[in-house]
Amino acid sequence: MKTYFISLAFYLTIISFNSQGQNKTMILDSIPVDLRKVDFDRDTLFFDVNSDNLKDILVMFIYKNNVPIPDGESGQMLAIYLNSGNGVFRFMEINKSLLWLIHNEVKQIDNKSFLVINEGGGQDWNRYYCYFLVDEKAKNWFLYKTEVYKAYYKTGEDKESKTLISKKEFDKDTRIPFNQVSFDSLFGELRAAVPEPEYYERILVNKSYIYKEPNVKTKIYLIKGDEVKIVKEENDFLKIFYYGKKTIEGWIQKSDVE
């Protein structure tokens, strides 16, 4: 886990972080966003993205809670900085519409390419993959492939499995520059096809035990016919609220309402 300390001086942003017990300092030559409106989000990612054997950085920004998100933006941003070799990182590109969902991940493929994964929540079990490759001549990164996987859990297994349901490859003439890639343009139709979650269900078993956390069972239970509000799904469990003589919050097994 890295911690960040940010200060502005002479238009340079200095980030000190602690990683594996070592304090290091990075200097970002410019910031493409207003730091009064955004925060540094999650861990900075260190890997080579332009095949020069230097670890570059991909920085995530997120709008602060009280700041309205501009039209066409997702509220989360991903910026690419190249390592100059002297502790200074040069800003290259920023994308403001790719990290669309709450859960996302960036992975290195090799020293020329990387992968961005958006994960749906609630009823959306899709995993949206975007692959980027550097064009050294153009000094830019381009989307060259997308994949969409449907996630599921096999009976008796805790590890998530995936099935490929969509794939598209872009040739050199149709590849999209990194800063122009829009999650909504690429996957909007698939997202629109995801059904809205049913927020209320009735208990179908004689006794539906309440769990404090998934797999942490209590002695409290609901009975057949009780109506519950579903707010979250996690593997074989549903997080619920029951509004009776008193409000009950907890988890039940999916099978209790299916």
In the chain, what are the domain boundaries? Answer: 4-192, 200-256
Give the Cα separation of 242 and 4 in Å (integer). Answer: 41
In this prediction, residue 11 has a pLDDT band, given cuts at 50, 70 and 90, of very low
Average pLDDT over residues 73-80: 92
pLDDT at 42: 61
Domain 200-256 in CATH 2.30.30.40? The answer is: yes
pLDDT tens per residue, range 149-168: 998 887 777 788 899 999 99
> Of 30, 43, 31, 24, which is closest to residue 15 (Cα–Cα)?
24
Residue 7 has pLDDT above 80, yes or no: no
Average pLDDT over residues 195-203: 75
* Distance from the first to the final alpha carbon of the chain: 40
Greater confidence (92 vs 235) lies with 92
> Of 44, 56, 58, 54, which is closest to residue 16 (Cα–Cα)?
44
Dig out the tokens for 83 from the structure: 């390592």
pLDDT at 125: 87
Greater confidence (159 vs 255) lies with 255
In this prediction, residue 2 has a pLDDT band, given cuts at 50, 70 and 90, of very low
Average pLDDT over residues 45-63: 91
Beta strand spans in 48-137 (E): 56-63, 76-83, 88-95, 103-110, 113-119, 126-135
